[in-house]
Amino acid sequence: MTRPKFLELCNKQNISLNLVHFENSVADGYYIIKNYSRWEVFYRERGKDYDCIGFPSESDALEYLLKKLLKA
């Protein structure tokens, strides 16, 4: 899955794009960032990271996060 496709699917499912971040910041929400040789997905709240999972590709990370957001 590509990032534009991920954003398009989030839009169609009425998932707020303010919840998802692609660059490291201090904002609360879900993150997809590249950390050395892997992509990581985690939730950040009040400066703490939770449930960090690593993936070999951005595509795998995007698919995982989309499924997680659709369950919420």
Q: In the predicted model, is pLDDT for residue 63 greater than 80?
A: yes
Q: Where are the alpha helices (DSSP H) in the chain?
A: 3-12, 58-71
Q: In the predicted model, is pLDDT for residue 7 greater than 90?
A: yes
Confidence (pTM): 0.90
pLDDT in tens, 12-53: 999 999 999 999 888 999 999 999 999 999 999 999 999 999
Boundaries of domain holding 56: 3-71
Q: How many structural domains is the chain composed of?
A: 1
**What confidence score (pLDDT) does residue 25 get?**
87
Are 66 and 9 within 8 A, CB to CB? yes
